[in-house]
């Protein structure tokens, strides 16, 4: 990987993501999202990247979920993308903030209707008494929104991670991997190479 010192890491990420979209067998936008409680207790889970630009990396969730509760209490997170087919990884760290209602509305409207209904039906991260309870809730909201569009639930939205650092890793022979980290600095980026 020949990175130049003046390269934009967001552009580099989009280039790698574009390659992953051609080679990964499933979910090239899958990323590990790591959060922590105010006491520093970590948790991680896979989510899907739904947008990236110079402002940051966007994902969506139920606002009553464990991840949302942790982000609201401790608005810092880390992401990790691993594209096995390309033998590449990207790590991102930074502060997290909610997306605007308008952004959330636009994305929610783009989802499949069954996914929209599922967002209404799921009490994400809450105890479930059995599959029938979930299926009954799906039926309830299917009937409720039988005609017309499904509005975005007030308890469902997104977050944007504004990157303070972005690290690119690429597998190399003899475990002498390539690692470059970009750190945000006074509105720009500085880059340095790291030992593998």
Active-site annotation, residues? 175
- The answer to whether 121 and 141 have CB atoms below 8 angstroms apart is yes
Cα–Cα separations (whole angstroms), residue 33 to 24, 53, 120: 19, 18, 23
| C-alpha span between 162 and 8 (Å, rounded) | 15
The contacts of residue 166 (CB under 8 Å, 6+ apart) are: 9, 10, 13, 90, 91, 92, 181, 182
Provide the 3-class DSSP secondary structure of residue 175.
helix
Pairing of strands 178-185, 42-48: unpaired
Backbone region of residue 86 per phi and psi (left: phi > 0; alpha: psi in -120 to 50; beta: other values): alpha
Secondary structure element (H or E) that encloses residue 31, with its range: strand 30-36
3-class SS shares of the chain: helix, strand, coil, % to 5: 30, 35, 35
Token readout for 131 is: 């599959």
With H, G, I as helix, E, B as strand and everything else as coil, classify residue 140.
Answer: helix
């Amino acid at each position: 990987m020949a990175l130049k010192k003046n390269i934009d890491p967001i552009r580099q990420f989009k280039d790698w993501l574009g390659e992953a979209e051609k080679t990964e067998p499933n979910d090239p936008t899958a990323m590990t999202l790591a959060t922590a409680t105010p006491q520093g207790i970590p948790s991680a889970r896979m989510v899907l990247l739904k947008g990236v630009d110079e402002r940051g990396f966007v994902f969506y969730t139920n606002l009553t979920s464990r991840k949302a509760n942790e982000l609201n209490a401790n608005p810092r997170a880390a992401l990790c993308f691993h594209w096995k087919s390309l033998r590449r990884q990207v790590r991102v760290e930074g502060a997290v903030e909610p997306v605007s209602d308008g952004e959330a509305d636009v994305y929610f409207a783009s989802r499949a209707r069954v996914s929209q209904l599922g967002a209404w039906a799921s009490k994400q991260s809450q105890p479930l008494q059995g599959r029938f309870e979930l299926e009954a809730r799906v039926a309830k909201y299917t009937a409720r929104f039988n005609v017309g569009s499904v509005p975005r639930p007030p308890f469902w939205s997104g977050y944007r991670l504004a990157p303070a650092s972005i690290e690119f890793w690429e597998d190399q022979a003899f475990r002498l991997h390539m690692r470059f980290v970009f750190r945000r600095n006074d509105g720009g980026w500085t880059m340095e190479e790291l030992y593998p």
